[in-house]
Amino acid sequence: MDIIKKISQELKIKQEHIQSVLSLLEEGNTVPFIARYRKEITGNMLDEQIYHIKDKHEYLTKFVERRESIKNTIADKGALTEEIERNLEEASTLQELEDIYLPYKSKRRTLADVAKEQGLEPLADIIFNQESNISLEELAQEYLNDEVETTDLALDGAKNIIIARINEDLSTRKVVRSLTLGYGEIQTESITDNSKQYEQYMDFSQKVSSIPSHRVLAINRAEKEEILNVSLVAPEDSIIKRMQRDFLKETGSIQTKEFMIDSIDNAYKRYIKPSIEREIRRTLTEQAEEKAIDNFKKNLYDLLMQPPIADLNILAIDPAYRTGCKIAVIDKNGTLLSTETIYPHQPQNQLERSKAIIEKLIKENGVKLVAIGNGTASRETEAMVADILAEYKEISYLIVDEAGASVYSASELARKEFPKLDVSIRGAVSIARRVLDPLAELVKIDPKSIGVGMYQHDVNQNMLGNALEQIVVSCVNSVGVDLNTASASLLKYIAGISTSVANNIVKYREKNKGFSSRNELIEVTRLGAKTFEQCAGFLRVRDGSEFLDNTRIHPESYDLAYQILNEFQVDINEIGNSKDWQNSLDLNKALDISKNLRAGLPTVKDIITELKRPGHDPREDMPTPIFNKEITTFDMLYEGLIVKGIVRNVIDFGAFVDIGVKQDGLIHISEMSDSYIKHPNDVLSIGDQVEVKIIKLDKEKNRISLTLKF
């Protein structure tokens, strides 16, 4: 197998670009660095494409290694034929390889093995090939011996050999797999009636070919929790008829035919059926996990890339009833200014006192934004804040998804950052900071704990962890970080930087009172030339000695950047004094400049873009999520009401929207568009502000159904 060619065909990418990517990875380059700074030799490839190439190459390499291992094993047994070699070469999946290997696989001694040792294989051959018209008892007489004393024992042994042969037949397993996939059904049977969570899956059935991923995962979980029995019901009659057609011949006696029919039935029901069903359920689960993880990735990206709220002092409230609402106030740099605990709700009901404390904190700290966690007592807290802010027209508030805040609060990192703060107050700090800069704060939390997607505990945890880490890395490097303010938690996601190097950067910064240029990175312990090459372009130094250090232009391209400025006749000495020169940079001239300077067009375009907007944060182009809401309780809702909301989660069958009450509403995929959409992510993303109409309320189950179609 030509692995490069195979990847090219599957991913629709030129072979030379794939080879370039693999070579760069082999040299120790990181995916963000390759995607950003090696565009000329990768064909302007995105980081996601590079990850696909990396994963596909690893899979196909293992595939080839497994194929060669199987081939060598079969050869060692003296059983390798041209047909087996051809089948191995034509196999495209690991399952196909395992099917070919099945007859030669080392396994415990079977009934068929015993029968062969007793000399019954020639008898099995005659019956299997249906070559004789004499009675089976007469045939069996010739194979009696000290171990096989009766014709019944001889025929039983022959049958075991035939059953094993049918089970191991490559084409038979392909046919059974195809028919089961095409016409089989997943069916459930209730073990208990006490679970409302899985009510819709009680005594449920759906075709294997059409069951959606989220249902597969839900059913798997219910089965694991012993709420449902789950089975895959195959079209047995059709399968057995097809197998009979493949194995039965016109020759042979009626007795032989009946013997073969019974052997086929046994081979299918005892061996092939359970094996194929396990395989298909495993495949369904793997496909469902893959889709769920893709959905997690998209949601996490949207969440991390929400715009920061710059230059505002923020008061954050982590709401609760009995234990009180925890308050933290931070300034525009994330520095903690003040903390407090109030008890506005039951059982204390200190509403007026709580309002007075909040107003005092607002005035003393110049607060311009109030952030309220969306957990317990959120709506009651929101009503209180809305009442307070009615007198402060210049101050806004918003509801913040607090998922993961408690995980951060109890973490070692939080204890190091705020050793003297109560764990619950740390949660309020986290809520405030994730408004100030969502990316910088959320990277402190295990992505699996942030609460995006569904069934995060039901998918392969290693795969999920690796996939979400890729997204965090992609987001952090896409935005870049300030070398003089970024935490070690943020720095460790920068290309090439390990946790220990991130800590060393922070130590160097504290010791030397900051970095004045990117070049100083070389002085950091354990940060060598290769690491510098990988990370430097993603680390910014504002107001440093080198103007270009505040851009995403890599130091290796500084000379080219100044040549480009010269092409535009920009006086280098004016760069720090004025921004007027930026208007003269015309991106349309990139092609001519790249030719004049003999530089790659993608790099020239990137440099011009960075020069035009030095220090630009790509998240700033997105709308900020600040808005006040008038709806605060479920009782205020009614069918037909049009409300504003913010998308909190996007899943396979819809999106959950915060419309101002404790329970998020659901927009089912069918209510998102009048035209067909493949997935809710095609229409909505986490953080989107939407206007929705309430189409159904279920007060008993606390469910709200919404639509975008009005």
Is the pLDDT at 631 greater than 70? The verdict is no
Is the pLDDT at 627 greater than 60? The verdict is no
Band the pLDDT of 632: cuts 50, 70, 90: low
Report which of 635, 615, 605 is spatially closest to residue 699, judged by C-alpha positions. Answer: 635
> According to the model, what pLDDT value does residue 348 have?
97
Is the pLDDT at 165 greater than 70? The verdict is yes
Average pLDDT over residues 236-261: 95
Taking the C-alpha atoms of residue 632 and residue 471, their distance in angstroms, rounded to an integer, is 34
Reported as type and span, the H/E element at residue 338 is: strand 336-342
3-class DSSP string for 569-600: CCCHHHCCCCCHHHHHCCHHHHHHHHHHCCCC
Query: Between 571 and 294, where is the model more confident?
Result: 294
Write down the CATH number for the domain with range 3-104. 1.10.10.650
> According to the model, what pLDDT value does residue 198 have?
86
Taking the C-alpha atoms of residue 7 and residue 18, their distance in angstroms, rounded to an integer, is 8
Band the pLDDT of 147: cuts 50, 70, 90: very high
DSSP code, position 710: -
pLDDT tens digits, 273-315: 999 999 999 999 999 999 999 999 999 999 999 999 888 999 9
> According to the model, what pLDDT value does residue 628 have?
52
Residues facing 313 on adjacent strands: 367
> According to the model, what pLDDT value does residue 624 have?
63
Band the pLDDT of 687: cuts 50, 70, 90: confident
Residues facing 230 on adjacent strands: 188
Q: Are strands 689-698 and 481-482 parallel, antiparallel or unpaired?
A: unpaired
- H helices present in 418-527, as ranges: 423-436, 438-442, 461-479, 488-491, 499-512
> According to the model, what pLDDT value does residue 630 have?
60
Is the pLDDT at 90 greater than 60? The verdict is yes
> According to the model, what pLDDT value does residue 657 have?
92
> According to the model, what pLDDT value does residue 401 have?
87
Average pLDDT over residues 77-85: 95
Q: What are phi and psi of 133, to 5 degrees?
A: -100, -5
What is the CATH superfamily name and number for domain 499-621?
Tex RuvX-like domain-like (1.10.150.310)
> According to the model, what pLDDT value does residue 445 have?
92
Whether the CB-CB separation of 671 and 663 falls below 8 Å is answered with: no
Residue 216, classed as helix, strand or coil, is helix
> According to the model, what pLDDT value does residue 27 have?
97
The tokens for 250 are 């016109």
Structure-derived torsion over alpha carbons of residues 615, 617, 620, 626, reported in degrees to the nearest 10: -110
The proportion of the chain whose per-residue pLDDT surpasses 70, expressed as a percent, equals: 98
Read out DSSP for 342-357? Answer: E--STTT--HHHHHHH
Instruction: Give the pTM.
Output: 0.87
Is the pLDDT at 618 greater than 70? The verdict is yes
> According to the model, what pLDDT value does residue 428 have?
97
> According to the model, what pLDDT value does residue 399 have?
87
Taking the C-alpha atoms of residue 552 and residue 478, their distance in angstroms, rounded to an integer, is 9
The structure tokens 């921004």 sit at 579
> According to the model, what pLDDT value does residue 208 have?
97
Residue 229, classed as helix, strand or coil, is strand
When the pLDDT of each residue in the chain is averaged and rounded to a whole number, the result is: 93
**Domain range 634-707, CATH architecture:** Beta Barrel (2.40)
Reported as type and span, the H/E element at residue 533 is: helix 529-535
pLDDT tens digits, 114-136: 999 999 999 999 999 998 889 99
- H helices present in 38-187, as ranges: 39-42, 47-76, 82-90, 94-101, 111-117, 121-128, 136-141, 151-167, 170-183
> According to the model, what pLDDT value does residue 622 have?
72
Q: Give the range with max mean pLDDT: 403-417, 528-542, 568-582.
A: 528-542
Residue 21: C-alpha distances to residues 16, 39, 54, 651 (Å): 9, 10, 8, 33
Band the pLDDT of 573: cuts 50, 70, 90: confident
Residue 89, classed as helix, strand or coil, is helix
DSSP code, position 200: G
The structure tokens 């020639």 sit at 122
**Cis peptide bond prior to 235, omega within 30° of 0:** no
Whether the CB-CB separation of 259 and 136 falls below 8 Å is answered with: yes
Residues facing 448 on adjacent strands: none
The tokens for 224 are 């694991």
pLDDT tens digits, 370-404: 999 988 999 899 889 989 998 888 898 888 888 88
Report which of 298, 296, 340 is spatially closest to residue 316, judged by C-alpha positions. Answer: 340
> According to the model, what pLDDT value does residue 474 have?
97
Domain extents for the chain?
3-104, 499-621, 634-707
Whether the CB-CB separation of 592 and 599 falls below 8 Å is answered with: no
- H helices present in 168-311, as ranges: 170-183, 213-224, 236-247, 254-266, 273-304
